[in-house]
Amino acid sequence: MDKLKSVLSGEEARRDDRTILETVNEASTLGWGTRLKGFVACFVVGIAFMCVLQGVCVLFIPRIGLTLFIVFYTFGNICALCSTMFLMGPVKQLKRMCDKTRALATTIMLTCLVLTLCAAFWWKNFGLALLFVILQVLSFSWYSLSYIPFVRFPVLMIVRFVCNMCKYL
């Protein structure tokens, strides 16, 4: 009945003229409680894939354990990243990811996600894949810190200090 009402009132024609962003924004209007539940669920799934499943269960499976570890860890990072879309909404999240203060961190993080999967499946180089997993951890941490004001500079100074100390070892 609602469909018939929207067609007769002309709302259906106006729906076709909307942009993709308007459609996504309208579809993502959730109540705060629903957003919070979605965030928690997606974040818990991401943490479960990153920590519980990959560390305990799959790493020691012969021949495919390392591949499953890489896939689960990458999928867990993607779930954790998508969980914040429930809090802000997908359009606002994508805009904030591309802000000039975190564009580099976002680019490095997404590149590491893709390169990890490429190293595991295309190139079949598991040493390189493990290196990209380590880079995923570092880049995801740097990306997460980019949302906290005035934290990036002290962390950068600590990293420089540690690198300088490593030169003398």
Confidence at 8, pLDDT banded by 50, 70, 90: very low
Confidence at 86, pLDDT banded by 50, 70, 90: confident
Q: Does residue 95 contact residue 148 with C-beta atoms inside 8 Å?
A: no
Closest to 76 in 3D by CA, of 43, 35, 37, 108: 43
For all residues of the chain together, what is the average pLDDT? 78
Confidence at 167, pLDDT banded by 50, 70, 90: confident
CA distance 46 to 53: 10
List the structure tokens of 167. 């030169």
139-165: average pLDDT: 76
Residue indicated by tokens 């579809």: 27
47-69: average pLDDT: 77
Residue 114 predicted with pLDDT over 90: yes
Confidence at 112, pLDDT banded by 50, 70, 90: very high
Q: Does residue 145 contact residue 151 with C-beta atoms inside 8 Å?
A: yes
Neighbours of 69 (CB within 10 A): 23
142-169: average pLDDT: 75
Higher pLDDT, 162 or 138: 138
Which of 20-29, 42-51, 84-93, 116-125 shows the lowest mean pLDDT across its residues? 20-29
pLDDT score of 22: 66
Confidence at 20, pLDDT banded by 50, 70, 90: low
Closest to 113 in 3D by CA, of 151, 81, 147, 152: 81
The whole-model pTM stands at 0.68
